[in-house]
């Protein structure tokens, strides 16, 4: 009965939930620079009278709502940074910050958690246990905000942690999760080739960094296609190739950068080893020097099976959810991975596809169906009550 009243209250707060999301959408801030957003969140909890700690691991906010009855302590997490993308949507809530937008739904995540906090404050005396609201900065840019927040004590006393991502490519009313690895590990790398430039008419007197770089682009793709078990999963992507400044000059320097994605660390180490061999061999064969910088980023996000099952079961009495799916991993990354490395927990996708808007995450015209916001809130609080009964 209590849960029914909470669901009703979430629905009643839907207009405010949308207002919060649209305000944040118009005022995005980049990773590690979310000062105004962090203040907005802190001020919200100040007005609610919910104790909070700010500057957690950087710009993070941790708010704690202690129920009137004994029980477990469960954390919900929402991220709140934007991306360096120009908003190209023709909507009244379009970003007002040139070159920055919420192109991944973090504004919606924050709105969901803030509204849920406001709703649950009214039921504080009837609540068993404690809800901890983790508002995390800098998810979009490694090393991210989760790890420093954890190091700053964000998970102290936490029994379990749950989070959701509003997923714009999944239909409204669909909930997706996994009982194992759910999202990929994400690394980045940079290769610099130091050749010997010269006149475009006399290539034999040069060591063409563009030709050598082009060889690497092709050869690095053979790591996945020929050096990794086909039943394993990996991605090696070259996203940038910078060289040259004139049509008739052979460039002496080329820089390639990209990303590696993987689902287990053994494959990660194999990719690194094979990259080193290919880069070294190619550059030796061409008589040039090189540098190879490889940065390990977020680990794979692995859900705990019991907690993922709990999310699936807990969503069954949410009438807006018509489909619950266990899905194969996606190759996008998430630093929520650090939370489930430390505590039992699960991450799930809340379908938020907006009709007529086919654009994916990180696209200049990205948007969500805001009706997904209360669905996300209901699923989180259902998981909370279900975990209290474990």
Q: Give pLDDT tens digits for 215-252.
A: 999 999 999 999 999 999 999 999 999 999 999 999 99
Alpha helices per DSSP H over 242-345: 265-286, 305-314, 337-342
Q: Quick one: which of 57, 58, 26, 24 has its CA closest to 43?
A: 24
Contact 388, 71 (CB under 8 A): yes
> Are the C-beta atoms of residues 178 and 326 closer than 8 Å to each other?
yes
139 is catalytic: yes
H or E segment and range at residue 372: helix 372-388
Region 190-298: CATH code: 3.30.70.360
User: Which is the catalytic residue, given 29, 34, 107, 139?
Assistant: 139
CA 74 to CA 389: how far, in whole Å? 12
**In terms of Cα–Cα distance, which of 386, 389, 387, 374 is closest to 6?**
374
Residue ranges for the binding site?
104, 106, 140, 165, 362
| 79 counts as catalytic | no
Domain boundaries, the chain: 2-183+300-388, 190-298
CA proximity to 300, closest of 335, 352, 252, 249: 335
Secondary structure class of 232 (helix, strand, coil) = coil
Q: Tell me the fold of 2-183+300-388.
A: Aminopeptidase (3.40.630)
Of 251, 265, 326, the closest CA to residue 296 belongs to 265
276 and 210 in contact (C-beta within 8 Å)?
no
Q: Which of these is catalytic: 34, 81, 159, 370? A: 81
Q: Say if strands 69-79 and 128-136 run parallel, antiparallel, or are unpaired.
A: parallel
| Binding site as annotated, residues for Mn(2+) | 104, 106, 140, 165, 362
- Regions of the chain where pLDDT drops below 50: none
Residue range 41-52, pLDDT digits in tens: 999 999 999 999
What is the pLDDT at residue 1? 85
Measured over the CA atoms of residue 201, residue 204, residue 207 and residue 212, the dihedral's sign is positive
Each residue's pLDDT tens digit, 129-148: 999 999 999 999 999 999 99
Q: Do 233 and 246 contact (CB within 8 A), yes or no?
A: no
Give the integer Cα–Cα distance in Å for 36 and 47.
16
Look at residue 390 in the predicted model and tell me its pLDDT.
87
pTM of the model: 0.96
Write down the pLDDT at residue 61. Answer: 98
The half-sphere exposure of 4 on its side-chain side, counting CA atoms within 13 A, is 1
């Amino acid at each position: 009965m209590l849960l029914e009243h909470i669901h009703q209250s979430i629905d009643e707060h839907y207009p405010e939930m949308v207002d919060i999301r649209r305000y944040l959408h118009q005022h995005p801030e980049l990773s590690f620079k979310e000062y105004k957003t962090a203040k907005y969140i802190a001020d919200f909890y100040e007005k609610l009278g919910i104790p909070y700690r700010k500057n957690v691991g950087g710009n993070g906010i941790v708010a704690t709502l202690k129920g009137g009855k004994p029980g477990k302590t469960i954390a919900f997490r929402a991220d709140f940074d934007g991306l360096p993308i120009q908003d190209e949507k023709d909507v009244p809530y379009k970003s007002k910050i040139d070159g920055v937008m919420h192109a991944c739904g973090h504004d919606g995540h924050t709105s969901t958690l803030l509204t849920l906090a406001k709703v649950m404050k009214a039921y504080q005396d009837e609540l068993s246990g404690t809800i901890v609201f983790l508002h995390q900065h800098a998810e979009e840019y490694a090393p991210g905000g989760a790890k420093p927040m954890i190091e700053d004590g964000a998970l102290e006393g936490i029994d379990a942690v749950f989070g959701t991502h509003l997923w714009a490519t999944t239909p409204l009313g669909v909930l997706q999760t996994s009982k194992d690895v759910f999202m990929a590990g994400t690394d980045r790398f940079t290769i610099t080739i130091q050749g010997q430039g010269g006149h475009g008419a006399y290539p034999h007197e040069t060591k063409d960094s563009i030709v050598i770089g082009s060889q690497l682009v092709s050869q690095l793709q053979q790591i996945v296609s020929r050096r990794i078990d086909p039943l394993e999963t990996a991605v090696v992507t070259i996203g940038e190739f910078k060289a040259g400044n004139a049509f008739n000059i052979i460039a002496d320097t080329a820089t390639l950068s990209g990303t590696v994605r993987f689902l287990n660390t053994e494959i990660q180490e194999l990719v690194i080893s094979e990259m080193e061999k290919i880069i070294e061999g190619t550059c030796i064969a061409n008589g040039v020097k090189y540098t190879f910088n490889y940065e390990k980023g977020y680990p794979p996000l692995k859900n705990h099976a019991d907690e993922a099952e709990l999310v699936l079961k807990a969503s069954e009495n949410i009438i807006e959810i018509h489909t619950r799916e266990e899905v194969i991993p996606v190759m996008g990354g998430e630093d929520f991975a650090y939370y489930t490395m430390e505590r039992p927990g699960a991450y799930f996708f809340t379908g938020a596809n907006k009709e007529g808007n086919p654009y994916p995450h990180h696209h200049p015209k990205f948007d969500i169906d805001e009706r997904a916001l209360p669905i996300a809130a209901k699923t989180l609080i259902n998981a909370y009550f279900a975990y209290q009964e474990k």
